[in-house]
């Protein structure tokens, strides 16, 4: 019956009220909508690989200056420009990050050492080449030598770190063992002096990273003195 009836003024008023209520509800909803919060994350226009590399570079610098205990993941994340949560996406703990920095640094150092000795066929020639490239690397990026020096201190305080780094210690010793074997084969080193020479090499390299890495000229003179001592030209015995 009502379908064919014409709507009166009351119906039009009801419609206007419904529209008004609907508009008011929409405005209220819009006011209640939470603003979008922009969070820090991976820097724009950078890939995941680039961010990871940046983290490793910054972490090495901070670990080398402040040490493992004082440096925090939050400090590193802030310096990189990401959140601590984003940092944990790449490295699950501070120790994991530290070990990753060490792995990259060790690979970088011994890759350069290996390239440096290729064209030398004597023990003395190879070791002098290692000294020269170590000096060049220190000039290019002082954080490398500083970090290597810091690792010795940090690993001495943290047994879990020392255990994780044991593989790399063997790698380092193996590299110089090959050089010493060459010296023994060529008659430059007496076989009974193997362990003495090994200790000498490691002590020299530790001294270059711990004692004189910050002063390039002093390190250069120290390397010159080491070379002269190796060749018997530094001190006269008679």
Per residue in 75-102, pLDDT (tens digit) is 999 999 999 999 999 999 999 999 999 9
Q: How many domains does the chain have?
A: 1
Range of 98's domain?
Answer: 48-230
In a domain, 139, yes or no: yes
Taking residues 182-193, report their average pLDDT. Answer: 98
pLDDT exceeding 70 applies to what percent of the chain?
Answer: 80
Query: Which residue, among 134, 136, 167, 159, has the nearest Cα to 148 in the 3D structure?
Result: 134
Round the average pLDDT of the chain to a whole number and report it.
Answer: 84
In a domain, 238, yes or no: no
Q: What pLDDT score was predicted for residue 196?
A: 97
CATH number, domain containing residue 195: 1.10.357.10
Locus of tokens 């490691």: 202
In a domain, 65, yes or no: yes
More confidently predicted of 212 and 40: 212
Q: What pLDDT score was predicted for residue 44?
A: 56
Continuous segment of H or E residues that includes residue 66: helix 48-70
In a domain, 196, yes or no: yes
Neighbours of 131 (CB within 10 A): 21
Taking residues 139-167, report their average pLDDT. Answer: 93
């Amino acid at each position: 019956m009502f379908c064919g009836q014409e709507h009166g003024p009351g119906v039009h008023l009801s419609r206007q009220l419904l529209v008004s209520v609907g508009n008011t509800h929409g405005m209220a909803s819009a006011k209640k909508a939470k603003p979008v919060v922009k969070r820090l994350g991976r820097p724009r226009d950078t890939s995941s690989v680039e961010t990871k590399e940046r983290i490793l570079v910054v972490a090495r610098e901070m670990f080398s200056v402040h040490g493992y205990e004082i440096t925090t993941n939050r400090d590193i994340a802030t310096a990189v420009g990401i959140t601590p949560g984003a940092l944990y996406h790449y490295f699950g703990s501070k120790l994991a990050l530290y070990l990753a920095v060490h792995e990259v640094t060790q690979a970088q150092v011994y890759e350069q050492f290996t390239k440096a000795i290729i064209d030398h066929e004597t023990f003395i020639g190879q070791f002098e080449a290692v000294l020269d490239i170590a000096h060049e690397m220190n000039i290019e990026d002082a954080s490398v030598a500083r970090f290597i020096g810091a690792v010795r201190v940090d690993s001495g305080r943290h047994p879990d770190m020392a255990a994780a780094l044991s593989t790399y210690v063997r790698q380092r010793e193996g590299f110089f063992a090959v050089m010493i074997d060459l010296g023994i084969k060529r008659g430059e080193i007496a076989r009974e002096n193997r362990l003495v020479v090994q200790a000498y090499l490691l002590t020299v390299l530790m001294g270059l990273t711990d004692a004189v890495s910050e002063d390039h000229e002093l390190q250069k003179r120290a390397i010159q003195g080491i070379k002269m001592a190796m060749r018997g030209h530094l001190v006269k015995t008679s």
